[in-house]
Structure 1
């Protein structure tokens, strides 16, 4: 068995697009095909996200057949410890891949690409000049604040107040002062442990499919930097598209970010930012919601042909 990929990064977050070697994915609709992947070929996620071919912070883009007439392509987002509901950086990388490989019709100065993913339809707009892809901006699914000032008792006995926001995925937002730390790379291990604890307690209390936790400060500086942990100890290197959407949504509903106003949101890990803009007020499932635009750029890092020898005792991969 062999799997072929093209690798990118967006804001420092490593992304891997599967381009060949996937087993047949069965199902009559997007939902059935997604369930088939989860139940029958989950080994692909592990082989590409786990060591020795991947690592904990790797995200793999798995293209599947779409079932929406408006969509140009469909995708699942695979990570080391979970299937991500949505990944903004991966979407930006996937758009570049589609355009560079002639899988969508490209027009100057900007090309529209519509992606179907687990939360719904995401509309992307990519700069296209002289055969090259530049910045990509996307309009995510409607985002909203699920709950405000939810108290959680962590495993350490510390009580923290969180806000749970949906931006294609559910995140808990907690402020650094509640954890008695400041956001810095020097506190990487400590912040990861705190974030994992917050996510687990939020899952237990809210019964929501939480994607992760965002450790934020209370400033409204531009740019603003946060620490985002997805799944189990998966530290986001870049700006985190769904995390930035959640932060911008929370700022918007608190009156700290207006429609049409842009701000730079970034990661404390790489200091790389995306331009984030609320563009439209809307509603979803009875919630007041907002459409957030995220703009950044993908950079290609290489091509791979991964091989899997049958007598390799670690052929399935491993995750420390």
Structure 2
């Protein structure tokens, strides 16, 4: 599709899923060519063409992103991905993740949705009963989505992330609610984590405005902190999300926490955040609050859950190599769409409130 609205152009086709309440709009048709030999190169191209933050964006690919994420076709909480070729034939597909403000290098809930879609659509053959792994190239590397099947139905997906590594602990950050101590980890993207109680807050829908305000303050304050720099360069550097969490009573299988992840420019993850869960797992193993083989029951602000773990076989990895984590959740198809842009539509690709 050409989002200039020229008559007769092909529509942008999507299949929409939600993973634990967080939307994921899978773009399956109508994309312009995306230059680059790898998914990481295509992501860098998209960011370069689209700008960052709230800067104006140009280019056909970013027009499609804005068309799908902005009102009236999307909303400020929309999230999605462009399906692109993988880096090589070792993966089934590649993806460029996007949100209301631009692009991201990792997305656990999106990876789960893509795994479910790849099997549900027949793109990856799967048994009626049992598991099948879908390998996906994302900007931060190759990840896996093990799709669980029972009676011919997808019943869950386990996301296996790139290695997660703790970069800094107890970094003091000044906020409007006082100084808090923040932990920083890289898990495909860079996350900062802080207990909500340090801010005098609880992770509840009623306190979301204050949680978002605090998350934005913390992200801005850490913009130049050296721990947010990734050794592989600027694409993976800089705080992507702030995980504000609270401790709940342990389950028989391990710890239980509730969180809300504030990412981009104040966007809220409705799910417990897949790659953010990976970051939390690495932090908890390092501090000794999660033992290898235990499960973290990770709850979202809307009550949905992911189950995270560090497989015992991975626990002996050196700290600088990072920990391989697994996060399990559910993903469900919500719709299929063909989006159009009428050449006479004065709203063009839309707006955000």
TM normalised by structure 2 equals 0.85
Q: Are 1:7 and 2:16 matched, yes or no?
A: yes
Checking the alignment, whether the CA contact within 8 Å between 2:247 and 2:258 is kept in structure 1 is: no
DSSP 3-state at the match of 1:291: coil
Partner of residue 71, structure 1: 91
**Aligned pair partner of 2:40 in 23, 27, 31:** 31
Cα distance change on mapping 1:304 and 1:192 into 2, 3 Å: same
DSSP 3-state at the match of 1:316: coil
DSSP 3-state at the match of 2:67: helix
Cα distance in 2 for partners of 1:26, 1:205 equals 32
> What do you get for the CA RMSD once the two structures are aligned?
1.9
Q: Where is the strand percentage greater, Structure 1 or Structure 2?
A: 1
Partner of residue 131, structure 2: 110
Partner of residue 93, structure 1: 113
Partner of residue 179, structure 2: 159
Partner of residue 210, structure 1: 239
Q: Are 1:126 and 2:154 matched, yes or no?
A: no
Partner of residue 225, structure 1: 258
Partner of residue 8, structure 2: none
Q: Deviations over 1:245-282 (max 9, x none)?
A: 111211111111111111210112x1110111111136
Q: Are 1:147 and 2:168 matched, yes or no?
A: yes
Matches within 5 A, 1:1-320: 1=1, 2-38=11-47, 39=49, 40=59, 41-107=61-127, 108-154=129-175, 156=176, 158-206=178-226, 208=229, 209-218=238-247, 221-222=250-251, 223-268=256-301, 270-279=302-311, 280-281=314-315, 287-320=320-353
DSSP 3-state at the match of 1:203: coil
Q: Deviations over 1:64-109 (max 9, x none)?
A: 1111332111111110013122111111111111112221122341
Aligned residues: 317
DSSP 3-state at the match of 2:282: helix
DSSP 3-state at the match of 1:26: coil
Q: Deviations over 1:147-169 (max 9, x none)?
A: 00111223x38322111111221
DSSP 3-state at the match of 2:324: strand
DSSP 3-state at the match of 2:224: helix
Cα distance change on mapping 1:215 and 1:104 into 2, 3 Å: same
5+ residue gaps, structure 1, are none
DSSP 3-state at the match of 2:323: strand
Cα distance in 2 for partners of 1:241, 1:307 equals 31
5+ residue gaps, structure 2, are 2-10, 50-58, 230-237
Cα distance in 1 for partners of 2:69, 2:316 equals 36
Cα distance in 2 for partners of 1:303, 1:102 equals 15
How many Å apart are 1:34 and its aligned residue?
Answer: 2.5
Cα distance change on mapping 1:310 and 1:282 into 2, 3 Å: farther
How many Å apart are 1:26 and its aligned residue?
Answer: 2.8
How many Å apart are 1:219 and its aligned residue?
Answer: 5.2
TM normalised by structure 1 equals 0.93
Checking the alignment, whether the CA contact within 8 Å between 1:26 and 1:36 is kept in structure 2 is: yes
Select between 122-131 and 294-303 the one with higher mean Cα deviation.
122-131
Checking the alignment, whether the CA contact within 8 Å between 2:165 and 2:187 is kept in structure 1 is: yes
How many Å apart are 1:293 and its aligned residue?
Answer: 0.6
